[in-house]
Structure 1
């Protein structure tokens, strides 16, 4: 029996501080599509200060240079030191000078413009990963450390889920149930296809294969194929004709 756990990604609230309207619109659009809740959008220092002190967000995306100034660094210090919350610096490039200049603010991740939707998701997950471990982002490449896991918010804490422990993804209209090998099921506000294309890390996507219109299995948990069913340790899943050939090919089954 599945243990359905209340914890959806749209419960993670985000404050966006960005002075370019085009980027503000894109970031907001992508955050909404990943199921995050945008609780504030501000474009200058005067608006940013009360938005930060309102303290109604879980994580902030913060442009380093608001209108050409390094005011973002001081705002970052306020978020990390006073509020003790994670934040992501938005910048046009990440180099040694930026790393040294921003170190005192203790950013949890960087997002480099232009960015892809997948890199935005990775940045947020990396920020939560670093923040939960008391680390700061020392370079953009450190984001790779968190690629094999993702976080959901349960109450006032973040729960880390390793993709290697995920057995099945199950579609539920615009949501996806993520079922682990412990029988826990987490519901995220992301369609199955968007989850496959953007949320599962690229290095692991080939390990997940669709078996019917609504379900995707992690191949490491498939123990055998019996007729039109894929059998795992605890459950059998129906395989439809559309997907049987690709499944057998990926599992190197000759028939």
Structure 2
């Protein structure tokens, strides 16, 4: 069963209520959590103020009210620093140039289906993680939605599980284990399996918290509850420490 705390949390800003509800339903059907729906920039800002755990915002460029979606995006960039994508059916050159100025992480062209919504969400998350933006509303970027994506955003990893992303706070990750051509990420409640090498995921982790202890293991130092000989104890697991890493590893633990 999925840990609901790990669901990626989204805000939908769209002033056509039927369309907004349709988008929300598509996202929820694909295991994303919709925190709220807003039909104006002002309402969206209120939701963002009340929910500091929102991971991403889907924004219609044309909104009723004092501010349009582009001005809302500018505020998100300034204060919240989370990824966002634009929803649009058309845009003249002036609107498009304004939209580019706030560096959206993806565009979703109306009309769209459920698969297109999910791909756009994943692309926006990937672009934000890579500190990239989508500069062309019709741009086709190289992106396979079901490949081995490991995204580092703020203090979490976004990991793929059953064809959708889950947000896993770094503090919840216990250790990583390499097994042949696969790598498993063990958390306090789950396991994520990737068909990539351990090095690829290790690159996304902060070195002050995670360290290599063996050719086949990377551990969260803060998750170590004890040790004996060349073994670390983490959540009922015994993790071996190789001779090559022993000196660097055990200097983190003081003995009396």
The TM-score, its normalising length taken from structure 2, stands at 0.56
Q: Secondary structure at the match of 1:30?
A: helix
Structure 1 equivalent of residue 231 of structure 2: none
Equivalent-residue separation in structure 2 for 1:79 and 1:46 (angstroms): 12
Deviation at 1:65, TM superposition (A): 0.8
Equivalent-residue separation in structure 2 for 1:180 and 1:86 (angstroms): 35
Structure 1 equivalent of residue 192 of structure 2: 186
Deviation at 1:181, TM superposition (A): 3.9
Distance 1:110 1:17, change over 3 A: same
Higher relative contact order structure (alpha carbons within 8 Å, sequence separation ≥ 6)? 1
Structure 1 equivalent of residue 200 of structure 2: none
* Number of residue pairs the alignment of both structures matches: 168
Equivalent-residue separation in structure 2 for 1:125 and 1:150 (angstroms): 12
Equivalent-residue separation in structure 1 for 2:182 and 2:25 (angstroms): 34
The reply to whether residue 57 of structure 1 matches residue 54 of structure 2 is yes
- 5+ long unaligned stretches in structure 2: 164-178, 185-190, 194-256
RMSD: 3.4
Deviation at 1:71, TM superposition (A): 1.4
Select 1:125's aligned residue among 122, 126, 143.
122
The TM-score, its normalising length taken from structure 1, stands at 0.56
**1:1-255 correspondence to structure 2 within 5 Å:** 11-54=7-50, 55-67=52-64, 71-93=68-90, 97-142=94-139, 144-147=141-144, 149=147, 151=149, 156-159=155-158, 181-184=181-184, 186=192
- 5+ long unaligned stretches in structure 1: 1-5, 171-178, 188-255
Higher-helix-fraction structure: 1
Q: Secondary structure at the match of 2:182?
A: coil
Q: Is the 8 A contact 1:80 1:107 kept in 2?
A: no
Residues 64-89 of structure 1, C-alpha deviation per residue, up to 9 Å, x if partnerless?
11128761111101112321110011
Q: Is the 8 A contact 2:159 2:192 kept in 1?
A: no
Equivalent-residue separation in structure 2 for 1:40 and 1:46 (angstroms): 13
Deviation at 1:113, TM superposition (A): 0.9
